[in-house]
Amino acid sequence: MRIAVSPLRRIKELCHSYNLELNETFEKTQLVISVYQEIVWGSLKNGDPGVSGSLEKGYQAAVSYLYSFPSSVDKSELQTVLLNLFQSEWFKGLINQALNGISAYARNGDEYAEILNKRFFSEHSLRDYEVYLEMRKTKSTYYRLRKEAILFLGVRLWGVILPELLKILPGSNAPKRAYMLMVAENRELVSTK
């Protein structure tokens, strides 16, 4: 008889395998989540310059900063830096890549992605109680799943997505190509939903 490994234990093992510290990953992910609305939806409402303006920004510098920012950074400071470095589509694309990996690889992946999308990443995010009522979860189950979802998102970002991007970016013309590939991939994902 096989003993099932709890999702939180599995996330801890993933953190260890990617050399990520669990609490720091959770704190950094919460910070990124907290600034997402302003960077993505706020930029669109404020007339983001689009692709031509985005190519003036350094994709490699943006990814490098996001990969290595300290968890002790203030939310407003992080938001200011990310707004200056990231074009909104880049940031949205990184989060979408991480979310797609959650759905595909985590045991509760679809629930994690649903919680994260409804609570944090949609243009009109719901409050926690609205999400758990809509999902028909108890309050305690919802908050456990929410914590696991945030942690798994962090593992995907700092363990997989950002390191892979940093491997292909240094010393090449990859930023523009990587950006174009990411935009194309995200358009395909949006059109399939």
> Closest Cα partner for 11 from 169, 117, 158?
158
Q: What is the mean pLDDT of the chain?
A: 83
Q: What's residue 9's pLDDT?
A: 92
Give me the mean pLDDT over the 128-132 stretch.
97
pTM for the structure as a whole: 0.80
Confidence category of residue 101, pLDDT binned at 50, 70, 90:
confident
> Closest Cα partner for 14 from 127, 173, 158, 179?
158
Query: Which amino acid makes up residue 11?
Result: I
108, 148 contact by CB (below 8 A): yes
Helix residue ranges per DSSP H, the chain:
7-17, 22-37, 43-45, 50-54, 59-68, 75-85, 88-105, 109-116, 128-135, 139-155, 162-168, 174-192
pLDDT higher than 50, residue 183: no
Q: What's residue 106's pLDDT?
A: 77
How far is CA 148 from each of CA 11, 17, 74, rounded to the nearest angstrom?
A: 8, 17, 23
The pLDDT tens digits for 9-41 are 999 999 999 999 999 999 999 999 999 998 998
72 burial via Cβ count (<10 Å: 0-12, 13-18, 19+): exposed
For the ranges 16-20, 49-53, 59-63, 177-181, the maximum mean pLDDT occurs at 16-20
Confidence category of residue 169, pLDDT binned at 50, 70, 90:
confident
pLDDT higher than 50, residue 130: yes
Confidence category of residue 3, pLDDT binned at 50, 70, 90:
low
